[in-house]
Amino acid sequence: MPLQDVVTQQDIFVAQARIRGLVRHTPLIPSEVLPAVAGVDVRLKLETLQPTGSFKVRGAANRILNLSDEARARGVVTVSTGNHGRAVAYVAREIGLKATICVSERVPPNKIHALKQSGAELVIHGQSQDEAETRALELVEQHGFTMIHPFDDPDIITGQGTIGIELLQDFPQLDTVIVPLSGGGLISGIAIALKAANPAIRVIGVSMDAGCVMYHSLRAGKPVQLPEAETLADSLNGGIGLANRYTYRFVENFVDEVVLVSEAEIEGAMARVILAHHMIVEGAGAVPVAGLLSGRVQNMGQHIALILSGGNVDTQTALRISEKFGGG
Ligand SMILES: *Cc1c(COP(=O)(O)O)cnc(C)c1O
């Protein structure tokens, strides 16, 4: 199938209506995070305020609501660093179907805790996202569960793309969007929605320099694997899959730039959001701020939206960072 037919802007409009009721149209607020750059209009898209604390609920809702009655009756399984698993558990509970979540042993305790509260069955297996995924695929074989992939799926990409539609509605002057990048479902959906309206809107991905698999895949010209590293942006960990079907090609075709940021820059950005806005974002959610502040974005416009993708960080980390940067 040609790439432009896999997910269309029309599909994303349909999804917006489908997922209403499970998903919030999130606020877009003006930001002072960049006082040094006069005349630039920067706004923050607060996906931190979604049910379960991240945008992942958009894709999960769209994918699960699209399942047949037979598939719903058998239940769903997924593999997740945390936020996607929480989103799948939430949607499954809201519409009354069985969910099993596979996570690796690297997932932080606060996220394990939240998953345990969610009502889903939790399976902790392996040292990486890829090992947890192998376990999930076994469960698909054994129980006939439907795998809800975290990013490389047209229904997931379509659901995440509803952020792009909200941006078009709330911020018609938008010329640049800066988006956290891991598997690429989020940025692909947003890019499809925005570029269909105006191909000149620039779509910029930001990731941590500690092992961004998509960045290295783009440089290699094909999907590659990398070892996972410790990072404050733990929600950006994980591969894109050597057999990646969709997001690699979408990112290759629709993303204008990918910028990498250091751990110190991510920490500084989290502190900036806490101190300037009195809001907590997780490391992954702060990377667009870090990217903007780094000065590494080549072609920045005048009307910029930053996607603050999630807020699920443990309180100790948030406190440590705000104290370190003088917030107290
Ligand atoms: C999953 C996630 C991302 C990255 O989304 P992809 O679709 O994998 O690129 C960014 N931020 C947060 C908070 C996430 O949970």
What are the tens digits of pLDDT across the range 194-226? 999 999 999 999 999 988 999 999 999 999 999
Question: Which residue lies with its CA nearest to atom 14 of ligand 1?
Answer: 235
pLDDT tens-digit profile of 7-54?
Answer: 999 999 999 999 999 999 999 999 976 655 667 899 999 999 999 999
Per-residue pLDDT band for 313 (boundaries 50, 70, 90) equals: very high
Q: For ligand 1, is residue 208 a contact (CB within 6 Å)?
A: no
Which ligand 1 atom minimizes the distance to the CA of 238?
8
State yes or no: pLDDT of 327 exceeds 80: no
- The CA R_g of the chain, rounded to the nearest whole Å, is 18
**Considering the chain, what is the average pLDDT of its residues?**
93
Calculate how far, in angstroms, residue 309's C-alpha sits from the geometric centre of ligand 1: 7
- Measured CA to CA, the distance from residue 260 to residue 19 in angstroms comes to 32
Catalytic-role residue among 45, 56, 111, 195: 56
Which ligand 1 atom minimizes the distance to the CA of 187?
9
Q: Give percent above pLDDT 70 in the chain.
A: 97
**Size of the chain, expressed as the number of residues it contains:** 328
- Measured CA to CA, the distance from residue 73 to residue 98 in angstroms comes to 8
State yes or no: pLDDT of 179 exceeds 50: yes
| 272 contacts 33 by C-beta, under 8 angstroms | yes
Token duo for residue 234 = 């733990």
